[in-house]
């Protein structure tokens, strides 16, 4: 019951511990992979959006 009354955010001011190098490398590799997938998906889906937008626009008559 005593643990429920403690504020967990007060523990954030404590000392930070170093991360093991193998865990850090794994996390950084996962972040790089996620970034690559996001950039590739943006490359392919971004062009579709502009193509569809161009197809739906009406051309104005020039006088």
Kindly report, residue by residue over 21-41, the tens digit of the pLDDT.
999 999 999 999 999 999 998
Residues with Cβ < 8 Å from 19, sequence gap 6 or more? 27
Asked if residue 24 belongs to a domain, the reply is yes
Pick 25 or 53 by higher pLDDT.
25
Report the share of the chain in percent with pLDDT over 70: 89
**Per-residue model confidence as pLDDT tens digits over 1-24:** 556 788 878 877 777 788 899 999
**pLDDT of 2:** 58
Asked if residue 48 belongs to a domain, the reply is yes
Asked if residue 13 belongs to a domain, the reply is no
Handedness of CA 34, 9, 14, 1 (dihedral sign): negative
Number of compact structural domains in the chain: 1
Predicted TM-score of the model (pTM): 0.51
């Amino acid at each position: 019951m005593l643990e429920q009354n403690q504020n967990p955010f007060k523990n954030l001011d404590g000392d930070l511990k170093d991360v093991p190098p193998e865990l850090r490398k794994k996390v950084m590799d996962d972040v790089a992979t996620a970034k690559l997938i996001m950039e590739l998906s943006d490359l392919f889906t971004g062009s579709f959006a502009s193509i569809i937008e161009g197809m739906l626009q009406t051309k104005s008559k020039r006088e």
